[in-house]
Amino acid sequence: MGYGARITRERMSGTDIIVYGILLAALALVFLTYGKIVFDIVMKGIGFVDWGYLTEDPRMSGRAGGVFPIIVSTLWVLSIAVVVAVPISLAIAIFVTEYLSPFSTLSRIFRLSMLILASVPSIAFGLFGATFFAQYLGFGTSILTGGLTLAIMVIPICAFAFEEVFRLLPTGYRNGAFALGARKARFIFFILIPASATDIITVVLLGTGRALAETAALLFTSGYSDRMPESIFDPGRVLSIHIYDLSMGIPGGDRMASASAILLIGLFLIISSVGIFFSRKAKT
């Protein structure tokens, strides 16, 4: 332990020690609570997770068989959400950071709008998606509708994060580029985006992880069908909906729901770990 850390601990008053103990207890409580939840899920469902479970179709309303069509539907919905959300989020963030003053009224309106949209309950996005994409645009209850609904949920989160990433770019990059006569568009495509590429990937992965566990927004949009989708216009059940249906609507489906929850947690951990890896690489 370093000298500074030792002196700091020696100078802690009784009040500091009490506050430190309370914070440590709160942290331990959170870890124990989530650990207990994950432990129960793993113990209940790990016996069903095998190669057959990953490659077979569900049978008996999900009480038997596997989840292969559901995994495919989940990946399709996520892919649509990412393909739609990322370019729009990047365009919004670039416009705000490069074409607006950070203290302008429009810039402040953007930040407020993104914060409000990011805090809207997901069920509201689901109702909007069912009304606009499914009915007004005629996509119906489908993978496409579910993916587009997730996209409008992810856009505020990614746009706000992209804006922070671009604002953290050293001022010297901009000054040097403009001093050499580079135009705004050239600076954006050849300096801003490449220099921020690692952080952009991190934001995309974390946004994907956020969308992966979404349930309420997909209840009215992607559908409940557990058959293999043939196109993005077919309905498709994602993992989160499958877990909800097995645990709430299928008698005796709680163990298979736990098995699906293990897959969902595993996918979330993989995506989050990759995002953290890129984030750390960006700081080194």
Nearest to 165 by CA among 109, 103, 92: 92
Say if 191 falls within a structural domain. Answer: yes
What burial class does residue 111 get, using C-beta atoms within 10 Å of its C-beta: 0-12 exposed, 13-18 middle, 19+ buried? middle
pTM (2 decimals)? 0.82
Say if 5 falls within a structural domain. Answer: no
Averaged pLDDT, groups of 10, the chain, 284 residues long: 48 77 92 91 87 86 84 92 92 88 82 84 89 92 93 90 86 79 83 84 82 82 86 90 84 84 86 72 61
Q: Quick one: 68 and 193 in the same domain?
A: yes
Q: Quick one: 27 and 162 in the same domain?
A: no
Say if 217 falls within a structural domain. Answer: yes
* CA separation for the pair 56, 10 (Å, rounded): 61
Q: Quick one: 215 and 238 in the same domain?
A: yes
Domain of 232, CATH number, reads 1.10.3720.10
Q: Quick one: 40 and 63 in the same domain?
A: no
What burial class does residue 98 get, using C-beta atoms within 10 Å of its C-beta: 0-12 exposed, 13-18 middle, 19+ buried? middle
CA dihedral (244, 246, 250, 256) in degrees, to 10, reads -160
Q: Quick one: 30 and 160 in the same domain?
A: no
Q: Quick one: 255 and 180 in the same domain?
A: yes
Q: Quick one: 19 and 134 in the same domain?
A: no
Q: Quick one: 142 and 224 in the same domain?
A: yes
According to the model, what pLDDT value does residue 142 have?
A: 92
* CA separation for the pair 116, 68 (Å, rounded): 37
Say if 8 falls within a structural domain. Answer: no
Question: Which backbone phi and psi does 227 adopt, to 5 degrees?
Answer: -85, 160
Say if 6 falls within a structural domain. Answer: no
Q: Quick one: 206 and 262 in the same domain?
A: yes
Say if 61 falls within a structural domain. Answer: yes
Q: Quick one: 155 and 256 in the same domain?
A: yes
Q: Quick one: 116 and 29 in the same domain?
A: no
User: How far does the chain reach from its first CA to its final CA, in angstroms?
Assistant: 24
Q: Quick one: 226 and 122 in the same domain?
A: yes
Task: Give the structural domain span for 26.
Answer: 13-48
Say if 175 falls within a structural domain. Answer: yes
Count the domains in the chain.
Answer: 2
Q: Identify the bridge partners of residue 58 per DSSP, sorted by sequence position.
A: 65
According to the model, what pLDDT value does residue 5 have?
A: 47
Say if 2 falls within a structural domain. Answer: no
